[in-house]
Structure 1
């Protein structure tokens, strides 16, 4: 909800603005009116309602939230499956049933109608939050993601290395392996090969099941 920070980022000429729930929210009720900006926005979502509400506000890309910084893929899987299950349900609706669906989802009926027509979100949908290995990335692609965001999975890898140069080398290797896994996500042998190139280098994960509710980030900004 920090639209002034978004204005600054746009003035700096950035390529994309992430309206992120990971940072401390400036406004816990209102999202940014993204139609007021020329720079495209990517926003998080856990389900179809959240995704379509962000799109109605002007989001150009959606990412399933997952649980950032944990290396636990379970939330990303849950959110991606939820969105696709709800899309399939919308596809099964009659025209006169779309209005009730739009009311339940709290979005314009035109968006619901577009989802039924396309069989997908009207914008690109990436996966994020908990992707820590090449296999994680390939899993999300096979579940219907059109790409993945990886942060901690790369920058928290190689933490056992004693020098900065070695850590950076490990992180570059991890990034390369994940890119190859996304490119060849339906090729198990390729995924096995790139996974073998990064032994004992992945970040140490944290189970979301062991986290307190107030520690979870994905619930912010629905």
Structure 2
């Protein structure tokens, strides 16, 4: 199996919500691989963010793919709306799904790519029996709910464990990390086996601009992978 492609995916949580369309266009111009929408319901996590109509309004403005990270307690009911809004990849949390197989199958049936996320305290084994159903696994490197948190370096052994599970499965599954990813942390996550990197604050706060941040994080990830 060839090495998976390094992908840089910004979260729009740090964006100016009054001009989300412009922000998406700027991110596309900066060279990102896709854009992540952190969907929070105020129940599964202590925050409230993007409904499908907001995402749908931005969808025609860019060509870059969208993914929805559904941090919600009842994802099955919301899945069709986010697919209709233009999200090609839907991430659900293992902790939020009563019947994870069924939820991932529903995402596939809706025509989107299924993915599953693990909170920091959730062991890697939670996804061991759904590897045949997913296109991506997300290992959270912060506790979900807010942007700008510090990277939890002790998640790197779990990233490594999930990468080993993927390799044993023989399937082409991306491994994503989300939380505190930037120039000082991306190398550790990449060396552990991640190939998709969610970056929020690091992109929006780079004094040299978003294109510089995307290029720098991508280069550091590539170098760490060897």
Shift of 1:10: 1.8
Structure 1 or 2, whichever has the larger Rg, is 1
Tell me the residue number matched to 1:62: 137
In structure 2, the CA distance between the partners of 1:171 and 1:51, relative to structure 1 (3 Å rule), is same
1:180 to partner: Cα distance = 2.0
Matches within 5 A, 1:62-101: 62-67=137-142, 68=144, 69-74=147-152, 77-85=153-161
1:177-211 CA-partner distances (Å, limit 9, x unpaired) = 11222233257xxxxxxxxxxxxxxxxxxxxxxxx
Question: Which of 166, 170, 185 is the matching residue for 2:224?
Answer: 185
Partner of residue 147 from structure 1, selected from 189, 193, 196:
196
Distance 2:162 2:222 in 1: 27
More helix by share: 1
Alignment size in residue pairs: 142
Q: What SS does the aligned partner of 1:14 have?
A: coil
Work out whether 1:126 is the aligned partner of 2:165.
no
Tell me if 1:52 matches 2:128.
yes
Distance 2:124 2:149 in 1: 24
Q: Structure 2 CA distance, aligned partners of 1:152 and 1:19?
A: 23
Query: Structure 1 residue aligned with 2:186, among 129, 137, 144?
Result: 137
TM-score by length of 1: 0.51
Measured in 2, the distance between the counterparts of 1:78 and 1:120 equals 24
In 1, the alpha carbon distance for the partners of 2:125 and 2:174 equals 16
Moved more, 58-67 or 173-182: 173-182
CA distance in 1, matches of 2:194, 2:80: 29
Q: Deviations over 1:91-119 (max 9, x none)?
A: xxxxxxxxxxxxxxxxxxxxxxxx49x44
C-alpha deviation, 1:61, in angstroms: 0.5
Offset from partner CA, 1:27-62 (integer Å, 9 cap, x none)? 674556121232012221243212225546x33200
Structure 1 regions of 5+ residues with no counterpart? Answer: 89-114, 159-166, 188-222
Name the Cα RMSD after superposition.
Answer: 3.4
Query: Offset of 1:134 from its aligned partner?
Result: 1.7
Cα distance in 1, alignment partners of residues 163 and 217 from structure 2: 28
Query: What is the SS of the residue equivalent to 2:116?
Result: strand
